[in-house]
Amino acid sequence: MSESQFINGNVVMNGESVGNSLSDFTSLHLQSIRRLTITVEVLDKNNNTMDVLQGLSTGGSLSVDGTSLIRRTGTLSFVLFDRLLPAQNNLLWITNKIRIYAGIDDLRTQNNTTTHFCLGTFYITEPSVSIAKDNRSITINLQDRMGRWEDEEFENTVIIEANTPIAEGLKAILTVMGETEFSEIQSSDLVVPYQLEFAQGSTVIDAIDKIAKLYMDWDAFYDTEGKFVFRKMQLVYDRTIEPQWVFDENSPLMLSFDENYTYKGVKNRIVVFGAMDEKTGLTPRSQADLIPSSTFGSDAVGIRKKVFVETTLTTKEQCQAKSQYELWKASNLQESASIVTMPIYYLDANHIIQVTNPATKEVEKYIVDTIALGLNISETMTITAHKVYYDDIQLDVQDAKVEYIIDKITNKGWLATPEARILQYYGLKGNGTPLVVNFEYNSIGGTTAYTTGYLGTTTQTLTVDLVDLGSATDDNGDHHTNKGDYADRIIGHEMVHAVMNSAMGMAKTSTLPTWFKEGSAEFIHGADERLKISIVEDEAINDSMLDYIIDRGVDLLNGGGWISDSNEYSASYVILKYIDKNMKSGKDMKSFMASILGSAGDGAQALKDAITLNTTFTTYQAFVDSFKANGANFVKTKITLNLTGDEVDTGSIGGIDHRGTVALNAEDIFDESKAVAGVISTGFVVTFNRP
C-alpha cells in the first residue's frame, strides 16, 4: 500500500512495522477512547492496488487458526454500490484479492496519526447480495490464498522425486500452479523419503498437505500479506522471550479468562513405528522421552507411554519428527486458555501472550492457537491458546550413552569377543550379513537388548536399551544391578541369536524351539546368577522352587508355550547344560550345532535329531524322561553355585564347570583387555543407527 493512500499513517504487517515497537502498539490499543477504521484494499491478480475502501464496511468477522492449512477465514459486509457487484470489471471479482486493515488513531498526536494493522489477505469465495427497499448490501465470504488450492487441480501428473529437499518439493508444487509469492520457505536437511506422485485431477492443497506432513513438526500457511510460509515449528521456548501482549492483573482489555487442564493424555514417552521396508525387512522406529527429573518425567509419575504405528512414515527421521512432536503435545497438562478481550489487532497465531491468572495470580505465557474477532467497534476478540513449554523441558539426550556403547563395541570387543567364543564352542560364525545396531530408551530392569531377524532378508537388528546398558562406566558394562546383567554378557547373549540366524538361516532358526535358542544364548556366558534367583532362598536351594524350574523345562521340551519370564530362561539354561553333560564320547556342542545346520528338516525336527545323534539318549522322548527324573538332582550335584556370594565360575560353556580349564567369573567371561581396537565384528557388517 502506498504512502499516498495512508497519509500520516503506518502499516503493520504480521505485527511488525519499521519505527514501531511492541510498546507503541500496546499503548495505542490501551487508549481510553479507541477510534477505529476498517480499510479494505482491493488488489488485482498482480497485486496492484485497484482501490481503497474506507467507511463502506458495515460489519464482518475474521478467524485465524494456527492449526489449519487455511489459516485465515472470514466474512465482510458492505453498503452496496454498483462497483461492488460481482461483475468482471468491478472490484469484488473472482481474480481480485482484498487486504483488510484495522486502523487505530493515535489521539495523543496532533494530527491523530493512524496505524493500520493488516488482518490478512483474502480471496472472495462466495458473494451474497441483499437488496431491500431501505437497504442494499453485499456480504462476502473470505479465505486466505490456501483456500484457493482446495479447488485447483493438477492438469498433468506431478512427480516429486525421492531425496528432493522438502522445501524444494513444496516450491515445485506451487510453481507449477504459478505461485510466486514466497515469504519464508525454510531450508533443512530433510528430504522427501520416497517418490511422490500427484495424479491428474488431484488437488493442490492435498499435495501441500502431504508434503508438509512428511515431518510432523513443520508448519505451512499463508501470512497476512498473502505470501506462502513453510517453517519448522518452535516447540520449546527460552524463558526470556518477550510476549507480544501482556494481560496483567488489572488489564482493562481482558473481559474473561478460562483455563482447562487434562491428566488423561499426559505421556512422557512416545514410541513411533513406521512402515516396514519390504527389501530389508527393517521397520523405522523412534522413541522420545521426557527428562526423568521433569515435572511429568518418569521419576515423578512413572513411565507413561503411547505407541504410534504410522505406515505413512518410511524413515527414521520422519518417525523422530513424529515422536518429538507428539511428546511436546503430551508431556504436560495441556493447559488451554480461552480469553475474551477487546480486539488486539496485531496479534497472530503462534504469537506469545502473557497472562496473570485472575484466580491464582500466577503469571504464565501462552501460545496463540486461534483468534476470532468482529470488525465493528463494539465487537470483542476471542483467543484460544496453550501454555508455553520452556527449553528446560526437553527430550532426554542420550548421545553420551550411545557413544559409550559404540566405543565398547568398536574398541572393546563387545561383539567380536562373544563371536570368538561362539565359534570356539558352537562352531558357528556370521556370514558377513548386515547387523544394524539400534538404540532405544526403556525403563530400568526391562528388556535390555534384543536381536531381530527377518524372513526374506539377511539383515538383522540388535537393539540396545540406553537406560540399562548406557548407564555403566567400565569395560564390562557394570550398571550396578546384578553381575549377570553386565552389558558385555547381555550383548554376548544376543550375539548367539544373531550368529545362529546368520549361520543357520532364519527359515531354520524361526522354527527352533525358543527354549533352545535362549538356553544356547545363556550357556555361552553362563547364567548361574539368574538360576540362583530362580531357586535359592535364604542362601539355600529351595526344593519347591527348583521343582518348578524342572517342571517348566519338561513342559518346554514337550512343546509348551514360552512365558518369557526369568524362570523360563533359567529352565532353558539348565536344559542346555544337561545336554552338554550327556554328550557321547567325542561329541560336543560344535557337533550338536553342526547336526542342526546340516539337517534337511525344520528347526524343531533338526533339534530332536541332534539330541539322538550327539547325546547318550537314543530317542528324544528318552531325553525328556531323563531330564524330568534327574533334572533336580543334576542341578544340585553338577551345577556349582556359590550360595552366599558372587560366582567364581558363571557356569558358561567355556568355564571350568564345562569345556574350559579355568574358572571364568563375571569379569572374565569376555575379557575386554584382549580385544583388538577397531575390530567391530568378525561375522557381520555392522552399522550404528544413532538416535
The pLDDT score that the predictor gives to residue 3 is 35
**What is the reported pTM?**
0.62
Predicted confidence band of residue 201 (pLDDT cuts 50, 70, 90): very high
Collapsed DSSP state (helix, strand, coil) of residue 245: strand
Grid cell in block for residue 355: 497472562
Query: Is the per-residue pLDDT at 6 higher than 50?
Result: no
Q: Check residue 444 and give its pLDDT.
A: 52
Among 74, 226, 60, 57, smallest CA distance to 142 is for: 74
User: And the C-alpha cell for 195?
Assistant: 517418490
Interval 5-31 mean pLDDT: 67
pLDDT at 143: 94
Read off the pLDDT of each residue in 433-461 and give the average, rounded to a whole number.
Answer: 82
- Residue 452, C-alpha cell as written in the block: 531381530
The whole-angstrom separation of Cα 209 and Cα 215 is 11
Range with lowest mean pLDDT among 211-215, 445-449, 535-539, 660-664: 445-449
pLDDT value at residue 474: 86
What's the confidence (pLDDT) of residue 689? 83
Does position 462 have pLDDT exceeding 80, yes or no? yes
Residue with cell 522425486: 161
**367-421 residue pLDDT tens:** 999 999 999 888 999 999 988 876 544 454 456 778 889 999 999 999 999 999 9
Q: Which of 27-36, 565-574, 616-625 has the lowest mean pLDDT?
A: 27-36
Rounded to whole angstroms, the Cα distance separating 255 from 262 reads 24
Question: What residue type is assigned to position 299 of the chain?
Answer: D
Q: What is the mean pLDDT of residues 574-598?
A: 97
pLDDT value at residue 4: 32
Which tops the pLDDT comparison, 303 or 279? 303
Q: Nearest to residue 113, comparing CAs of 19, 237, 208, 250?
A: 19
Determine contact, residues 5/18, Cβ cutoff 8 Å: no
Q: What is the pLDDT of residue 669?
A: 94
Q: Which of 32-36, 431-435, 518-522 shows the lowest per-residue confidence on average (mean pLDDT)?
A: 32-36
Greater model confidence, 689 or 582: 582
Instruction: Say what the pLDDT of residue 5 is.
Output: 44
Q: What is the pLDDT of residue 469?
A: 74
Residue 486 has pLDDT above 60, yes or no: yes
Read off the pLDDT band of 691 (50, 70, 90).
Answer: low
Q: What digits encode the pLDDT tens for the residues 226-260? A: 999 999 888 777 778 889 999 988 888 998 999 88
The answer on pLDDT for 590 being more than 70 is yes
Decide if pLDDT at 1 tops 50. Answer: no
Of 498, 502, 418, 406, residue with least CA distance to 450: 498
What is the bridge-based pairing of β-strands 245-247 and 352-356? parallel
Residue range 533-548, pLDDT digits in tens: 999 999 999 999 999 9
**The pLDDT of residue 402:** 83
- 1-10, 83-92, 218-227: segment of lowest average pLDDT: 1-10
Beta strand pairing status for 72-79 and 136-143? antiparallel
Whether the predicted pLDDT of 15 surpasses 70: no
Task: Mean pLDDT check: name the lowest of 111-120, 160-169, 494-503, 652-661.
Answer: 111-120
Amino acid at 217: D
pLDDT of 18 = 43
Alpha helices of 412-471 — where are they, by DSSP H? 416-426
Q: What is the mean pLDDT of the chain?
A: 88
* SS3 state of residue 628: helix
Query: Of 9-13, 52-56, 116-120, 220-224, which range is least confident?
Result: 9-13
CA atoms within 13 A on the CB side of 236: 15
- β-pair type (158-160, 49-54): unpaired
Mean pLDDT of 108-129: 86
* Alpha-carbon gap, residue 431 to 416, rounded angstroms: 14
* Mean pLDDT across 326-347: 88
Beta-bridge partners for 662: none
Query: pLDDT tens digit string along 141-196?
Result: 999 999 989 989 999 999 999 999 999 999 999 888 888 878 788 888 889 988 99
- Above pLDDT 70, what percent of the chain? 93
Q: How far from the centroid of its chain's Cα atoms is residue 262's Cα? A: 22
